[in-house]
Amino acid sequence: MKKVCLVKGGNFVLGIEARYILSRRHKMLPHETAGKEREIFHLGSLLARKHCEHPEPGSVFLQLHKGKNTFFLLVDQVIDEIELPEQTTRLPPPSPELAEQLCPQVAVCMNLVVLLLDPAQVIPVARQLGQGIGVLAPEHWAQPPVPVDSAARQPAKGTKNGPGTAVPNRLIRKNKKRPKSVDEETFKRVMAWTIAQFKQGKVGTEHLAADQLPPGLVQQEGVSDTVIQYLIDQISLRCQESITPTRPGEQHGG
């Protein structure tokens, strides 16, 4: 017996062998994952030979792998997981060639016919159809990168860090955009902590990271790590400048 996921794409129900499914995701793909993917495929529009306008609510991203290909396929729904007998037959005539290519095998389970999708053929079939058919537009699958400004506006829930903690530090530090300012109390506290750390010889992001602040030090609501990190970086920079002698002819840009 083989495990098969029954998935719905438009008006069609197909089976995908579970061994080809690396992961499932109900939400949009995170920015980092999305950045690696050139194309995401949409089963419903591929089978209907049309462009996808809006994915169905509750659609599921399946990461499929077969042979050299690993890719994401958006299906309308994962209906069920079933076990099928190993014995399958070829798709009978007069099935069209594209269907034979995409679903070369069929099986019968509980008197129902299950067409088995060959994941290795999704990309070739989409290429044959051309014109972007079956390819999902990026706005339907990629979470936009979290802008620092919007991160700063998000309220903290339970912890001082809030939702902004999900964004990796290296992404935050690359972002040179000036964040929303903090209140005076937070500024003073962060500055005092940063200077104290600096006096102990701690410099650089590995020693002066927002997530190293003592718990409870930042009490301002709605301020994210992104904002705090920007503040720490600026204070740290000033501290370093204060001990670096200015060479003749060099003007301070501050």
User: 18, 22, 108, 192: which one contacts another protein (CB under 8 A)?
Assistant: 108
Plot region of 149 (φ>0 → left; ψ -120 to 50 → alpha; else → beta): alpha
Residue in 235, 230, 214, 232 with CA at minimum distance from that of residue 160:
214
Number of H helices and E strands in the chain, helices first, is: 8, 11
User: 2, 3, 12, 238: which one contacts another protein (CB under 8 A)?
Assistant: 12
- Residues 69-98 close enough to bind another protein by CB under 8 A: 89, 91-98
- Residues 192-221 close enough to bind another protein by CB under 8 A: none
Task: Kindly give the pairing relationship between strand 21-25 and strand 40-42.
Answer: unpaired
Q: Is 217 helix (H, G, I), strand (E, B) or coil?
A: coil
**CB atoms near residue 46 (< 10 Å):** 25
Report in angstroms how near the CB of residue 121 gets to another protein at its nearest.
12
Our finding on whether 168 is near another protein (CB under 8 A) is no
- Residues 111-130 close enough to bind another protein by CB under 8 A: 111-115
Separation between Cα atoms, residue 197 and residue 223, nearest integer Å: 21
- In the complex with another protein, the residue whose CB is nearer, 30 or 124, is 124
Report in angstroms how near the CB of residue 84 gets to another protein at its nearest.
12
> Site residues (CB under 8 A) for another protein?
11-13, 47-49, 89, 91-99, 102-103, 106, 108, 111-115
